[in-house]
Amino acid sequence: MKECDSLQEQVDVLVVGSGAAGLTAALVASIEGLDVLVVEKSAHAGGTTATSGGSLWVPGAAAVLDATPDVDSQRARSYLQHEFGTWVRPDLLDAFLEASPLAIDYLSRNSEVKFAYAVNPDYHAEAPFGSATGHAITAVPFDGRLLGEDFARLKPPRRVFMVLGGMMVGRREIPILVRPFASPRAFLRTLGIVGRHARDRLRYPRGTRLLIGNALVARYLYSLRRRHVRIAYETPLVDLCRQHGRVVGAYVDRAGQRVLIKARRGVVLAAGGIAHSQTLRTTLMPEHPHQYSMADEGDTGDGVNAALKIGAAVDRSVSNPAYWSPASIWRKRNGEEILWIHGHMDRGKPGLLAVDASGRRFVNEADSYHDFVLAMFRNGGGGRAIPAHLICDHRFLRKYGFGLVRPLISRISPFVRDGYVTRARTIESLADRLGVDRTALRDTIATYNNDARTGVDSLFGRGSRALNRFNGDPDVRPNPCMHPVDRPPYYAITVWPCTIGTTIGLATDKDSRVLDDAGVPIDGLYACGNDVSSMMRGFYPGPGATLGPAVVFAYRAARHLASDAARPIAPSD
């Protein structure tokens, strides 16, 4: 490796990436007294985190324990050990459980990164030691006006996830906003939310009432600004700089010029993973070919590639290389493509079913988005469930919405015209338009309808699990997750596997130090977030299984960087 030269500036810690992992590492390192610089590839901060649901799965956090004192870290350990089976890495599991409450408490005490308990079941709550109330927390909503000029640097949510020209809406607020006159409380709540947004639009390009992932990133930005931590935007990573076996900085692209930033303590890679790198996906995810991802467009493997060039190892011991959701694609006539992931807002509601190319169900549609796609891959060896089709009737579409078609307010015809939604007056004609067997689809829906009336899903147990019921409709009986599909016209949306984050990447130790092929830490190099192979080992135990470990291991990295163990033996310059 040639000597590093062309020094432009020097800091204690250089962080690559501004998602939850990078921002946590930067904030904690700064609080610990280190001089920190964050370099961000795009013009906005937040990465995938800013457009995400913003939940963190962190057992033992105070917000969780205060609300559910019976949900502790030991039960979480047993739950995860059962989930992971032989895939478990005990060192990472121990480090995660030990640091989860410490990391959240540290952020809450030392910054404006504040959290609240988010009632949400573990995705396999019925498994041994699973929890029907969960281990998830979420960022407290934030007033974007406090960011000042930094508000323009916060990556906005995807446009299709906002309403009224840029207003964020909480999941529990949707039923209120679509039926504002249902009660005096609903009217007053709607008036308050919409009135605030109207005032915002007089001064801002979008609403400043920030929720979920956008609130989380905003709280980090606000805290970093108060600590005078710099973020260099439009400054992508080019290469790492290594001298005498130690990573002492990185080359970045600054306004088209390759410049060197040295880091006395170390470099933290948190560049978002490999979701948009076709080369790395082909190499590391060969058994899961796919086209679509909801990850940030800048997640092209910059951190992983830079580390591999200097001898870093990939940890391939994961059960699955990504976190998944089914997604539909609206190809508008003007050439624009809009991607929509089907989380729980429609799939979890009663009166929807999913079929494969044979016209038959293949999955419990109300299970987690990750499990749904795993079923697509299991059933898709011959292309049977990739793509799959979601089916509902007119009553369902108008009450709950269907993909990009919003309940009550959306016109349906444009979506039908562009081919996003398939519509038919009969089940048989719907089958013809989807290219599936008429008899199979008719029999499938007849069985589903009979099961809905009895309340027992005879094929997949839909409604028997805590997660199913949590996302169902409590007003529907006897099963809150099933209702007959019998009100024409009938509708279908085609869905494909879509990554929401990758789980395979660099090998790291319990303090997020990057390892080489011999399992030895590379001095001065750390990685966290989706640049590393997740301690969850490709499993998805509950909401926040991506951001929880990202924040916790970034915290561990920063604390290690601030310790005597991270001091270079000799000056890096």
Read off the pLDDT of residues 246-287 as tens digits, 9 standing for 90 and up.
Answer: 999 999 999 999 999 999 999 999 999 999 999 999 999 999
Read off the pLDDT of residues 8-59 as tens digits, 9 standing for 90 and up.
Answer: 899 999 999 999 999 999 999 999 999 999 999 999 999 999 999 999 999 9
CA 370 to chain centre: 11
Burial 206-233 (b: 16+ CB within 10 A, else e): bbbbbbbbbbbbbbbbbbbbeeebebee
Same domain? For 250 and 185 the reply is no
Same domain? For 476 and 549 the reply is no
Residue found by looking up tokens 């009979």 in the block: 450
Question: In which domain, by residue range, is 51 found?
Answer: 7-139+214-320+503-566
344 pLDDT band, cuts 50/70/90, is: confident
Read off the pLDDT of residues 489-508 as tens digits, 9 standing for 90 and up.
Answer: 999 999 999 999 999 999 99
Would you say residue 5 has pLDDT above 60? no
Whether 485 is covered by a domain: the verdict is yes
Q: Is 76 strand, coil or helix?
A: helix
Whether 1 is covered by a domain: the verdict is no
Q: Phi/psi at 117 (nearest 5 deg)?
A: -65, 135
The burial of 66, by beta-carbon neighbours within 10 Å (0-12 exposed, 13-18 middle, 19 or more buried), is given as exposed
Amino acid identity, position 483: H
Read off the pLDDT of residues 229-252 as tens digits, 9 standing for 90 and up.
Answer: 999 999 999 999 999 999 999 999
Whether 94 is covered by a domain: the verdict is yes
Whether 259 is covered by a domain: the verdict is yes
The burial of 82, by beta-carbon neighbours within 10 Å (0-12 exposed, 13-18 middle, 19 or more buried), is given as middle
Provide, rounded to the nearest whole percent, the portion of the chain with pLDDT above 70: 91
How many domains is the chain built from?
Answer: 3
The whole-angstrom separation of Cα 113 and Cα 219 is: 5
Q: Answer with the one of 153, 188, 205 that is the final residue of a domain.
A: 205
Predicted pLDDT at 156: 92
Same domain? For 102 and 236 the reply is yes
CATH number at residue 290: 3.50.50.60
Cα atoms in the 13 Å half-sphere on the side-chain side of 114: 8
Confirm if 42 and 240 have CB atoms less than 8 A apart: no
Same domain? For 411 and 519 the reply is no
* Bridge pairing between strands 322-331 and 237-243: unpaired
The whole-angstrom separation of Cα 49 and Cα 39 is: 16
Same domain? For 131 and 221 the reply is yes
Count of C-beta atoms within a 10 Å radius of residue 236? 16
The whole-angstrom separation of Cα 64 and Cα 259 is: 45
473 pLDDT band, cuts 50/70/90, is: very high
Same domain? For 132 and 169 the reply is no
326 pLDDT band, cuts 50/70/90, is: very high
554 pLDDT band, cuts 50/70/90, is: very high
Predicted pLDDT at 1: 40
Same domain? For 26 and 86 the reply is yes
Q: Answer with the one of 499, 527, 544 that is the final residue of a domain.
A: 499
Same domain? For 244 and 96 the reply is yes
Q: Which of 141, 143, 139, 140 is nearest to 199 (CA)?
A: 143
Same domain? For 39 and 110 the reply is yes
Cα separations in angstroms, 384 against 179, 192, 244, 305, 392: 39, 48, 54, 35, 20
Same domain? For 227 and 183 the reply is no
Beta bridge partners of 259: 252
**In whole numbers, what is the pLDDT of the chain averaged over residues?**
92
Residue partners of 405: CB distance under 8 A and separation at least 6: 397, 412, 415, 421
The whole-angstrom separation of Cα 382 and Cα 287 is: 13
Provide, rounded to the nearest whole percent, the portion of the chain with pLDDT above 90: 81
Whether 147 is covered by a domain: the verdict is no
Q: Phi/psi at 566 (nearest 5 deg)?
A: -95, 0
Whether 144 is covered by a domain: the verdict is no
The whole-angstrom separation of Cα 17 and Cα 63 is: 27
Whether 2 is covered by a domain: the verdict is no
* Bridge pairing between strands 490-502 and 388-393: antiparallel
CATH number at residue 463: 3.90.700.10
**What is the length of the chain?**
573
Same domain? For 511 and 495 the reply is no
Read off the pLDDT of residues 359-415 as tens digits, 9 standing for 90 and up.
Answer: 999 999 999 999 999 999 998 655 689 999 999 999 999 999 999 998 876 799 999
Whether 146 is covered by a domain: the verdict is no
Q: Answer with the one of 456, 477, 499 that is the final residue of a domain.
A: 499
The whole-angstrom separation of Cα 369 and Cα 381 is: 19
The burial of 183, by beta-carbon neighbours within 10 Å (0-12 exposed, 13-18 middle, 19 or more buried), is given as exposed
Same domain? For 285 and 237 the reply is yes
The whole-angstrom separation of Cα 444 and Cα 457 is: 12
Read off the pLDDT of residues 143-162 as tens digits, 9 standing for 90 and up.
Answer: 999 999 999 999 998 876 66
Predicted pLDDT at 286: 94
